[in-house]
Structure formats: structure tokens, C-alpha cells
Amino acid sequence: MQLRLIFLGTSSAVPTSSRNQQSIAVVRGGEVIIFDVGEGMQKNFIRSSIGMNKRMKILITHMHGDHVLGLLGFLQTLALNGRDMPIHIYGPEPLREYIEFNRRLLNMNLTYDIYFKEVQGGVVVEERDYAIEACEAEHSIPAYSYLLREKDRPGVFYPEKAIALGVPKGRLWHRLQHGEDIIIDGNVVKASDVTGSKRRGRKVGISGDTVANHRLVEFFKDCDVLVFEATFMSSDKAKAIEAMHSTARDTAELASKAGVKLLVLTHFSARYMDTSILVKEASSIHGNVIAAEDMLSIEVPYPE
């Protein structure tokens, strides 16, 4: 199944001529999972051609404007484009009031239903083949980091083993391939009898705004891709401490300890027009670092 990250906004509190405020779309098969909705992100969403009427979840890390002010405009844009599928929204409890109050104030008539769930840490979303977990971040207001974790996939299917056990090709093979045991001629054929070892799914981490800390090292352990804020250079460490953000060095040290495969820096202060200097700082610690740009698209391959 395809797993793709599309960056719809990569700036911090102040947008620039080339960077919207924070928003990341994770496209997984026919579903879209959006993390944060900074102001004006719907323009890049339209440019991405993701599609207006797909299964959709929206997860908000915290209630700062550069992460949530675009939500109302995005919801309205979807409605004006004829969306009729429901949207599930997750975030801190004040997000519910923010949505409901502004919908009344602006007389927003949406063409679809919204379902809200408060985030309090732990498992936020539980689907058949993936889950999304939340971990309390360390910021100036209550905030969360998120981890999208695919569940293990069945091992490689060996047709010759199925044939040897008398399983005819067709529907029963399909069930075995998907990890389901079957009964044939009164005998149980286990999926493990005809498949190899289970294969690990992919892991994608989204930091939101936070100070890098040991708790997040454990939370993001072995991520295939970690998107982590790098608002400042280490030369501006005092500013990072005051605003409770991370420097590029902080982020790289966390990613290195966590064994992250690819580190993607984002949430850049507008003072850094050239983000290569942040990548250079992080790359001195972690071996695989890139800087996010608006409309950057990253395919996440399976581990094997």
C-alpha cells in the first residue's frame, strides 16, 4: 500500500513568500490523514491533487494559531467542493469549542458530518491495519506528538506449501495470505503453515511543537520517517528555550538516539531563508537528514 507524505506548510509562526504555516498530509492508500492545519494550507492541498472526497482524519497537535487557524477555511473549502464523506477530527479539548463556536458565528453550512475526539495520550485511532498514538509533548501550552504505526503484515505466501496441504487456489489462498487460518476437509490449515515470518509495518512520527526530550526518544523509536520541528539553530538556543522549541541539533540528537531512518526538519523560523544551514547542523549528528519544503512529497517504502 502506498504511504506518502505531502508537506502543505513548513514555516513556524510567521509564514514566508515560499512557506505556509504547518500542515502535513499523509496519504495512505485511499485515505488522507492530515496533521495540523495552518492558515491557508488549503491552497497547497488543492495544488497537491489529493482529492476532496476521500476518507479523512485530521489531527491537531496543539492550539497555537500556526497549527489550527486554517482548519475552518479548509473545512469550508471541502464543503464548497461538494464533499459528502464525514471527517474525524482529533485534538485537545479546546478544539471542540473552537470548531463549534466559529461554525455558529460564521454560519458555516457543511455538506458532511464532523466527529470530534479529544486527545489525551495513548492510542487515538485504532484501525484494522494501523494505529495512531499520541504522546504528550513539551511546549508552552498542552501539546501532543503523534505516531502512525502500521500493524505487522502477514509473511510472504508460499503457494507450493498451500498446494502440498491440499488447499485449492482461489479464495482460500487469499484468506491465508491475509493471515487467516482456514479449515479444509476437516483439517485446520494455519496461515503460518504457508507463510513466512510476519513483516513489520511502517512507522511515521510527527513531533508538532516541542522541546526534544527522552520521552519522545522512546516514543519515536525506529521510525522510518520522523518529521520533527527545527525552529532554530543551536546558535539561537536561548530563543529555543524561551519559546519551548527545538534546535536542529536537539532534533538530530533525538533522532540518532531513537534510531530513526530518515529525519525531516520542519517548522522553520522565518529568520532562516536558507534552511541548508539547519540541515548541515543536524547532519553532523544524524546521517540522513533533509529539510521539508512546501509541496515536498516523500514516499515511505516498506522496511524490507
Query: What is the pTM assigned to this prediction?
Result: 0.92
User: What is the model's pLDDT at position 304?
Assistant: 73
The rounded distance, in Å, linking the Cα atoms of 189 and 193 is: 7
Residues with catalytic function: 66
According to the model, what pLDDT value does residue 144 have? 98
Residues 229-243: what's their mean pLDDT?
A: 97
Q: Does the pLDDT at position 46 exceed 90?
A: yes
Q: What is the CA radius of gyration of the chain?
A: 21
Q: Is 146 helix (H, G, I), strand (E, B) or coil?
A: strand
Confidence check: pLDDT of 147 > 80: yes
Which of 13, 24, 240, 268 is CA-nearest to residue 146?
24
34-48, 52-66, 131-145, 162-176: which range is least confident on average?
Answer: 162-176
For residue 248, give the C-alpha cell.
536542529
Residue type, 142: P
Give the model's pLDDT for residue 32.
Answer: 98
Which residues are bridge partners to 297 per DSSP? Answer: 6
**Per-residue confidence (pLDDT) for residue 90, from 0 to 100:** 98
Angstrom distances, CA of residue 285 to CA of 10, 207, 217, 282? 22, 19, 15, 6
State the sign of the Cα–Cα–Cα–Cα dihedral 69, 146, 209, 140.
positive
Mean pLDDT, all residues of the chain: 96
Please determine, for residue 252, whether its predicted confidence score (pLDDT) is greater than 90.
Answer: yes
- The number of angstroms, rounded, from the C-alpha of 271 to the middle of its chain's C-alpha atoms is 26
Percent of the chain with pLDDT over 70: 100
Report CA-CA distances (Å) from 237 to 121, 206, 231, 291.
Answer: 28, 22, 10, 19
Q: How crowded is the C-beta side of 261, counted as CA atoms within 13 Å?
A: 13
Of residues 52, 62, 11, the one with CA closest to residue 32? 52
Mean predicted confidence (pLDDT) in 227-241: 98
The predicted pLDDT at position 208 comes to: 98
Per-residue pLDDT tens for 103-115? 999 999 999 999 9
Per residue in 209-232, pLDDT (tens digit) is: 999 999 999 999 999 999 999 999
Asked if 162 and 195 touch (Cβ cutoff 8 Å), the reply is no
**Domain 3-153+199-299 = CATH 3.30.70.1400:** no
Q: What φ, ψ does residue 37 adopt, rounded to 5°?
A: -140, 80
Phi, psi of 123 (to 5 degrees): -75, 125
The x, y and z cell numbers of residue 15, run together, are 509564514
- Say whether pLDDT at 197 is over 80: yes
Q: How far apart are CA 246 and CA 228, in angstroms?
A: 9
Give the pLDDT score at 178: 84
Label residue 193 by pLDDT band (50, 70, 90): very high
pLDDT at 261: 98
Q: How confident is the model at residue 154 (pLDDT cuts 50, 70, 90)?
A: confident
Domain ranges of the chain: 3-153+199-299, 159-194
Q: In angstroms, what CA-CA distances link 212 with 4, 90, 139, 224, 246?
A: 25, 23, 10, 18, 6
